Amino acid sequence: MKPVTIVEGLAAPLRRDNVDTDAILPKQFMKSVARTGFGPNLFDSWRYLDAGEPGQDHARRPLNPDFVLNQPRYQGARILLAGRNFGCGSSREHAPWALLEYGFEVIIAHSFADIFRQNCGKNGVLPVELDAASMEQLFAAAESAVGCRLRVDLERQRVIGAHGFTAGFDIAPFTRHCLLNGLDEIGLALQQRERIAGFESERLRRFPWLAANLCD
């Protein structure tokens, strides 16, 4: 997993509350656990005018010109602004996989569904919660003619923008540690590889008959 320290870039505004994980990545696209291939179907029912099905040629699909992510001014955004209770619904990890593959490394929202927040941290997406007043400032800036570019500093736990905007945010220390060091659950386990190897060696010394079963 890629470490997250400082993310700088354009912010795209999604002024919607209660965006559930089926809106983020509709269920019909959950055909793999490879963590890749989901970016083109992020917000599928909002981005496209046709009904989305697996295996389609996305270059041929009609885009919804009214959806914010289809507007040229927000192309290349690395930060998504969202409303209240973002990521509610089912607990699918495919939702943060799709967000990350599309290009979003940070989601700034008024609040997140608990399981979605945890899944973001496990998959390299930084979830940032800000108060309503700060979110309104960011939305207004992102929707203005100038647009909104932000610097999100995980180490200092600050969001910094133009015209003196700055806001602190809280994050669970364990999630912060994992994101800063690029550690998912497998990475955390591999930090203990010597202890794991030692345990396995001692186990086979004490119970040598297990070695035969391992070869079956």
Distance, in Å, from the CA atom of 19 to the CA atom of 15, rounded to the nearest integer, reads 10
Task: Please give the domain boundaries of the chain with CATH numbers for all domains.
Answer: 6-183 (3.20.19.10)
Please tell me the least confidently modeled range out of 28-37, 47-56, 81-90, 183-192. 183-192
pLDDT tops 70 at residue 207 = yes
pTM score over 0.75 = yes
Task: Establish how many alpha carbons lie within 13 A of residue 143's alpha carbon, considering only the half-sphere containing its beta carbon.
Answer: 13
The single residue listed with the structure tokens 């108060």 is 131
Strand locations in 97-171 (E): 106-109, 126-129, 149-153, 158-160, 166-168
Q: How do 6-13 and 79-82 pair as beta strands?
A: parallel
Reported as a pLDDT band with limits 50, 70 and 90, residue 189 is low
Over residues 139-180, the pLDDT tens digits come to: 999 999 999 999 999 999 999 998 899 999 999 999 999 999
Q: Report the pLDDT value the prediction gives residue 214, as an integer from 0 to 100.
A: 55
Least confident interval from 29-38, 67-76, 82-91, 183-192 = 183-192
Average confidence (pLDDT) over 39-57: 94
13-39 average pLDDT score: 93
| Residues 3/179, Cβ–Cβ less than 8 Å | yes
For the cut 70, the answer to whether the pLDDT of residue 42 exceeds it is yes
Residue 200 confidence (pLDDT): 79
**Residue 43 pLDDT grade (very low, low, confident, very high; cuts 50, 70, 90):** very high
More confident residue, 34 or 191: 34
